[in-house]
A = this chain, B = another copy of it.
Amino acid sequence: MKTPSNQELIKGIQSGDKRLLGKAITLVESKKAEHREQAEELLKEILPFTGKSIRVGITGVPGAGKSTFIESFGKLAIQHGKKVAVLAIDPSSSLNKGSILGDKTRMEELSKEKNAFIRPSPTSGFLGGIANATFESMLICEAAGYDFILIETVGVGQSEVLVSDITDVFLFLKIIGGGDELQGIKRGIMEMVDLIFINKVEEENRLKAKNTKVELMRALHFLPSKEKNWKVPVMLGSALNNTGLVEVYDKIEEFITLKISNHSFEETRKKQAEKRFDYWVQEYILQKTKSDKSTETFYEEHKKNASELKSNPRTEAKIFVEKLLTK
């Protein structure tokens, strides 16, 4: 793929050209050195236009109805005059380079909306790298004027930590019941959520749903509160039938208003930027090491010692870093 110039990309992003928006995202995801140069320039240029969206993380176990929720919620936001971008962090996709199943057919209606943009999850690299690519894709969507960035992830542990590292509000989609076997999944997440939506609630299972709500409220009661003066709401509804979504929308606005007023909005974003900084420090050091002939030679040499099990990887890394920083 020939990458357009930054001038073309920025013009495209700001004029609502989704194809160029997609290309800009491909650029920031790239690991090639020349793309990194250009991406870094691009991010620098769009900086003044970023930061103005509401960044929403959405999680839930497979089957909780995340795609349907995003489709319905996205359309609701568009009805409110907002522009909606959908990104994803998918820990299971790192190996198989692209999804096997028909992910393209997901969120079909939303994808047809003029004011919606849906980007499949980045499919290469380790989870930290994927989270980072998602963060930067988000900045680009912000520069393109998107008001809501919805970031979907599978409901299990570490990917949530990463999503909460780049979002303002974290929404947990729950299905009725679940019980003990989901305990392992639930416990880490419950401490990170800002809102809970029990999905797939209809007339015939409303009572069960209410029981699940009581259980969740009880569990939440024993957890330290993540956000001061905020009681995590547990809402009921059905994304498929479009019930309960207005309440979610309102609660998100209420939550963001609270966070802005007590400055935790700003604080959270500052801390997130620091994490991104540390990520890139490590990335650039490895990149520079490998691109510089003299350092590359002794990098390879020590790596070989480690790989031939002559020495511990930790020991070899230590010797290498000492050489690198005192050369």
Of the listed stretches A78-86, A206-214, A246-254, A300-308, chain B binds A300-308
Is A181's CB within 8 Å of the partner chain B?
A: yes
Of the listed stretches A17-25, A235-243, A275-283, chain B binds A275-283
- Whether A273 touches B161, Cβ cut-off 8 Å, given contacts A92-B187, A95-B188, A284-B318, is no
User: For A288, what are the chain B residues with a Cβ–Cβ distance below 8 Å?
Assistant: 321-322, 325
Does more than half of chain A's interface fall in helix, strand or loop, or is it mixed?
helix
Is A12's CB within 8 Å of the partner chain B?
A: no
The answer to whether B43 and A314 have CB atoms under 8 Å apart is: yes
Is A264's CB within 8 Å of the partner chain B?
A: no
* Interface residue ranges of A295-327 to B (CB < 8 Å): 299, 302-303, 306-309, 311-318, 320-322, 324-325
The answer to whether A94 and B161 have CB atoms under 8 Å apart is: yes
The contact string, 1 if C-beta is below 8 Å from chain B, for chain A 79-113, is 00000000000111111100111000000000000
Interchain CA distance A312-B45 in the complex, whole Å: 10
The answer to whether A158 and B312 have CB atoms under 8 Å apart is: no
In angstroms, how far is the closest chain B Cβ from the Cβ of A185? 6
Is A114's CB within 8 Å of the partner chain B?
A: no
In angstroms, how far is the closest chain B Cβ from the Cβ of A111? 19
Q: How large is the interface on A (under 10, 10 to 19, 20 to 34, 35 or more residues)?
A: 35 or more
Interchain CA distance A161-B306 in the complex, whole Å: 21
Interchain CA distance A156-B312 in the complex, whole Å: 29
User: For A40, what are the chain B residues with a Cβ–Cβ distance below 8 Å?
Assistant: 312, 314-315, 318
- Quick one: copies of this chain in the complex? 2
Residue ID in chain B nearest A61 by CB atoms: B181
User: For A156, what are the chain B residues with a Cβ–Cβ distance below 8 Å?
Assistant: 91-92, 154, 156-157
- Whether A154 touches B313, Cβ cut-off 8 Å, given contacts A271-B307, A321-B284, is no
In angstroms, how far is the closest chain B Cβ from the Cβ of A272? 9
Residue ID in chain B nearest A321 by CB atoms: B284
Interchain CA distance A239-B173 in the complex, whole Å: 33
In angstroms, how far is the closest chain B Cβ from the Cβ of A313? 3
9 extra interchain contacts, Cβ-Cβ under 8 A, other than A93-B157, A95-B191, A282-B285?
A47-B311, A94-B158, A99-B187, A126-B128, A127-B127, A270-B309, A276-B313, A276-B314, A282-B286
What are 8 A-B contacts defined by CB distance under 8 Å?
A63-B181, A90-B157, A91-B158, A93-B157, A154-B185, A274-B313, A281-B299, A325-B325
